[in-house]
A and B are shown apart, each in its own frame.
Chain A
Amino acid sequence: EVQLLESEGGLVQPGGSLRLSCAASGFTFSSYAMSWVRQAPGKGLEWVSGVSGGGGTTYYADSVRGRFTISRDNSKNTLYLQMNRLRVEDTAIYYCAKDSLSGRTAEVDYWGQGTLVTVSS
Protein backbone atom coordinates (compact mmCIF):
# COMPACT_ATOMS: atom_id res chain seq x y z
CA GLU A 1 0.00 0.00 0.00
CA VAL A 2 1.40 3.39 -1.01
CA GLN A 3 1.86 5.71 1.95
CA LEU A 4 3.10 9.30 1.90
CA LEU A 5 3.60 10.91 5.30
CA GLU A 6 4.42 14.61 5.43
CA SER A 7 6.24 16.18 8.34
CA GLU A 8 4.48 18.67 10.52
CA GLY A 9 4.22 22.17 9.07
CA GLY A 10 3.91 25.16 11.30
CA LEU A 11 3.72 28.88 11.78
CA VAL A 12 6.50 30.93 10.21
CA GLN A 13 7.04 34.65 10.00
CA PRO A 14 7.18 36.34 6.61
CA GLY A 15 10.71 36.10 5.26
CA GLY A 16 11.38 32.96 7.28
CA SER A 17 12.25 29.42 6.23
CA LEU A 18 10.81 25.95 6.73
CA ARG A 19 11.70 22.50 5.44
CA LEU A 20 9.02 19.92 4.76
CA SER A 21 9.71 16.24 4.37
CA CYS A 22 7.65 13.35 3.07
CA ALA A 23 8.39 9.75 4.01
CA ALA A 24 7.30 7.33 1.30
CA SER A 25 6.61 3.61 1.53
CA GLY A 26 4.83 0.86 -0.35
CA PHE A 27 6.53 1.41 -3.72
CA THR A 28 9.97 1.67 -5.30
CA PHE A 29 10.58 5.31 -4.46
CA SER A 30 13.42 5.96 -6.90
CA SER A 31 11.33 4.80 -9.86
CA TYR A 32 8.83 7.62 -9.73
CA ALA A 33 8.74 11.38 -10.01
CA MET A 34 7.43 13.18 -6.96
CA SER A 35 5.76 16.55 -6.48
CA TRP A 36 4.56 19.06 -3.95
CA VAL A 37 1.08 20.49 -4.51
CA ARG A 38 -0.48 23.12 -2.28
CA GLN A 39 -3.96 24.35 -1.45
CA ALA A 40 -4.54 27.74 0.13
CA PRO A 41 -7.40 27.85 2.66
CA GLY A 42 -10.69 27.47 0.83
CA LYS A 43 -8.99 27.52 -2.58
CA GLY A 44 -8.08 25.11 -5.34
CA LEU A 45 -5.00 23.00 -6.03
CA GLU A 46 -1.72 24.54 -7.18
CA TRP A 47 1.24 22.45 -8.30
CA VAL A 48 4.41 23.81 -6.68
CA SER A 49 7.40 21.69 -7.60
CA GLY A 50 8.44 18.33 -9.00
CA VAL A 51 11.53 16.12 -9.16
CA SER A 52 12.40 13.17 -11.39
CA GLY A 53 12.83 9.71 -9.95
CA GLY A 54 16.61 9.93 -9.97
CA GLY A 55 16.57 13.43 -8.53
CA GLY A 56 18.56 14.94 -11.36
CA THR A 57 15.78 17.08 -12.81
CA THR A 58 13.71 19.54 -10.86
CA TYR A 59 10.77 21.73 -11.81
CA TYR A 60 9.19 24.75 -10.16
CA ALA A 61 6.09 26.88 -10.50
CA ASP A 62 6.86 30.50 -11.32
CA SER A 63 5.40 31.55 -7.97
CA VAL A 64 8.10 29.72 -5.98
CA ARG A 65 11.09 29.52 -8.33
CA GLY A 66 14.18 30.94 -6.65
CA ARG A 67 12.68 30.61 -3.15
CA PHE A 68 11.82 26.89 -2.85
CA THR A 69 14.10 23.91 -3.45
CA ILE A 70 12.85 20.37 -3.97
CA SER A 71 15.11 17.39 -3.36
CA ARG A 72 14.92 13.71 -2.58
CA ASP A 73 17.02 11.10 -0.81
CA ASN A 74 16.31 7.79 -2.50
CA SER A 75 18.32 5.90 0.12
CA LYS A 76 15.85 7.14 2.75
CA ASN A 77 12.71 7.12 0.57
CA THR A 78 12.16 10.74 1.49
CA LEU A 79 11.14 13.84 -0.43
CA TYR A 80 11.94 17.36 0.78
CA LEU A 81 10.84 20.91 0.15
CA GLN A 82 13.05 23.69 1.46
CA MET A 83 11.03 26.90 1.58
CA ASN A 84 12.89 30.19 1.99
CA ARG A 85 11.78 33.84 1.93
CA LEU A 86 8.27 32.74 2.78
CA ARG A 87 5.39 35.06 2.01
CA VAL A 88 1.90 35.36 3.46
CA GLU A 89 0.54 34.01 0.17
CA ASP A 90 2.49 30.77 0.69
CA THR A 91 0.05 29.87 3.47
CA ALA A 92 -1.51 26.57 2.43
CA ILE A 93 -1.83 22.87 3.01
CA TYR A 94 1.16 21.26 1.28
CA TYR A 95 0.62 17.81 -0.19
CA CYS A 96 3.33 15.35 -1.14
CA ALA A 97 2.30 13.53 -4.31
CA LYS A 98 3.60 10.52 -6.22
CA ASP A 99 3.53 10.37 -9.99
CA SER A 100 3.00 7.34 -12.19
CA LEU A 101 5.92 8.34 -14.40
CA SER A 102 9.64 8.46 -13.66
CA GLY A 103 10.89 11.50 -15.48
CA ARG A 104 8.46 14.25 -14.63
CA THR A 105 5.12 15.12 -13.11
CA ALA A 106 2.36 14.22 -15.52
CA GLU A 107 -0.01 11.88 -13.72
CA VAL A 108 -0.19 12.25 -9.95
CA ASP A 109 -1.67 9.03 -8.61
CA TYR A 110 -1.24 9.16 -4.82
CA TRP A 111 -1.40 12.01 -2.31
CA GLY A 112 -0.26 12.40 1.27
CA GLN A 113 -2.56 13.68 4.00
CA GLY A 114 -1.14 17.19 3.74
CA THR A 115 0.54 19.53 6.20
CA LEU A 116 -0.46 23.10 7.01
CA VAL A 117 2.07 25.88 6.61
CA THR A 118 0.99 29.27 7.94
CA VAL A 119 3.02 32.36 7.14
CA SER A 120 2.03 35.20 9.41
CA SER A 121 3.51 37.79 11.72
Chain B
Amino acid sequence: GNSVTQMEGPVTLSEEAFLTINCTYTATGYPSLFWYVQYPGEGLQLLLKATKADDKGSNKGFEATYRKETTSFHLEKGSVQVSDSAVYFCALRPGSSNTGKLIFGQGTTLQVKP
Protein backbone atom coordinates (compact mmCIF):
# COMPACT_ATOMS: atom_id res chain seq x y z
CA GLY B 1 0.00 0.00 0.00
CA ASN B 2 0.89 3.68 0.01
CA SER B 3 2.16 5.39 3.13
CA VAL B 4 4.31 8.27 4.35
CA THR B 5 6.50 8.29 7.44
CA GLN B 6 7.99 11.43 8.94
CA MET B 7 10.44 11.91 11.74
CA GLU B 8 8.96 12.41 15.16
CA GLY B 9 8.71 15.91 16.50
CA PRO B 10 8.83 18.40 17.90
CA VAL B 11 12.02 19.67 16.36
CA THR B 12 13.42 22.63 18.29
CA LEU B 13 16.11 24.78 16.69
CA SER B 14 17.74 28.12 17.25
CA GLU B 15 17.35 30.81 14.63
CA GLU B 16 19.75 30.40 11.68
CA ALA B 17 20.27 26.69 12.37
CA PHE B 18 20.15 24.09 9.60
CA LEU B 19 16.91 22.15 9.30
CA THR B 20 16.27 18.62 8.10
CA ILE B 21 12.93 16.90 8.43
CA ASN B 22 13.06 13.33 7.22
CA CYS B 23 10.31 11.83 5.08
CA THR B 24 10.22 8.37 3.58
CA TYR B 25 7.45 6.79 1.60
CA THR B 26 6.07 3.51 0.38
CA ALA B 27 4.26 3.55 -2.91
CA THR B 28 3.52 1.53 -5.97
CA GLY B 29 4.42 3.11 -9.27
CA TYR B 30 5.70 6.66 -9.47
CA PRO B 31 4.07 8.99 -6.97
CA SER B 32 4.25 12.75 -6.83
CA LEU B 33 5.61 14.11 -3.55
CA PHE B 34 4.70 17.23 -1.62
CA TRP B 35 5.53 19.20 1.48
CA TYR B 36 2.70 21.17 3.07
CA VAL B 37 3.04 23.63 5.95
CA GLN B 38 0.45 24.51 8.57
CA TYR B 39 1.09 27.70 10.51
CA PRO B 40 -0.62 28.07 13.89
CA GLY B 41 -4.36 28.52 13.46
CA GLU B 42 -4.23 28.25 9.69
CA GLY B 43 -4.93 25.71 6.98
CA LEU B 44 -2.52 23.73 4.85
CA GLN B 45 -0.33 25.52 2.34
CA LEU B 46 1.70 23.84 -0.34
CA LEU B 47 5.37 24.51 0.31
CA LEU B 48 6.98 22.57 -2.53
CA LYS B 49 6.54 19.55 -4.75
CA ALA B 50 8.39 17.11 -7.00
CA THR B 51 6.70 14.95 -9.58
CA LYS B 52 9.44 12.59 -10.72
CA ALA B 53 12.65 11.01 -9.50
CA ASP B 54 15.62 13.36 -8.97
CA ASP B 55 13.41 16.44 -9.19
CA LYS B 56 14.17 19.09 -6.59
CA GLY B 57 11.34 21.18 -5.25
CA SER B 58 12.19 24.52 -3.68
CA ASN B 59 10.39 27.49 -2.17
CA LYS B 60 11.13 30.15 0.46
CA GLY B 61 14.60 28.69 1.09
CA PHE B 62 13.25 25.18 1.63
CA GLU B 63 14.33 22.32 -0.62
CA ALA B 64 13.53 18.64 -1.02
CA THR B 65 14.82 16.14 -3.58
CA TYR B 66 12.80 13.17 -4.79
CA ARG B 67 15.07 10.17 -4.20
CA LYS B 68 13.59 7.03 -5.65
CA GLU B 69 16.52 4.82 -4.66
CA THR B 70 16.00 5.63 -0.97
CA THR B 71 12.25 6.38 -1.26
CA SER B 72 12.83 9.67 0.51
CA PHE B 73 11.86 13.32 0.22
CA HIS B 74 13.65 15.04 3.08
CA LEU B 75 12.94 18.72 3.70
CA GLU B 76 15.92 21.02 4.27
CA LYS B 77 16.57 24.67 4.93
CA GLY B 78 19.94 26.23 5.45
CA SER B 79 18.95 28.89 7.97
CA VAL B 80 15.62 28.79 9.76
CA GLN B 81 13.75 31.79 11.12
CA VAL B 82 11.31 32.14 13.99
CA SER B 83 8.59 32.62 11.38
CA ASP B 84 9.22 29.09 10.09
CA SER B 85 7.70 27.66 13.26
CA ALA B 86 4.85 25.47 12.04
CA VAL B 87 3.79 21.89 11.42
CA TYR B 88 5.23 20.36 8.26
CA PHE B 89 3.47 17.53 6.44
CA CYS B 90 5.00 15.28 3.83
CA ALA B 91 2.47 13.84 1.39
CA LEU B 92 2.27 11.71 -1.69
CA ARG B 93 -0.14 11.35 -4.54
CA PRO B 94 -0.06 7.77 -5.84
CA GLY B 95 1.12 7.54 -9.42
CA SER B 96 -1.75 5.27 -10.25
CA SER B 97 -4.34 7.62 -8.82
CA ASN B 98 -6.80 9.31 -11.13
CA THR B 99 -8.58 11.00 -8.24
CA GLY B 100 -5.92 13.32 -6.86
CA LYS B 101 -6.06 11.77 -3.40
CA LEU B 102 -3.19 12.75 -1.09
CA ILE B 103 -1.73 10.54 1.61
CA PHE B 104 -0.14 12.48 4.45
CA GLY B 105 2.50 11.73 6.99
CA GLN B 106 1.83 12.41 10.65
CA GLY B 107 3.35 15.89 10.58
CA THR B 108 6.45 17.28 12.27
CA THR B 109 6.25 20.31 14.51
CA LEU B 110 9.12 22.76 14.13
CA GLN B 111 9.81 25.30 16.85
CA VAL B 112 12.42 27.95 16.12
CA LYS B 113 13.67 29.98 19.06
CA PRO B 114 15.27 33.42 18.75
Whether chain B is bound by chain A comes out as no
A residues bordering B, Cβ < 8 Å?
A: none
Residue ranges of B at the interface with A (Cβ–Cβ < 8 Å):
none
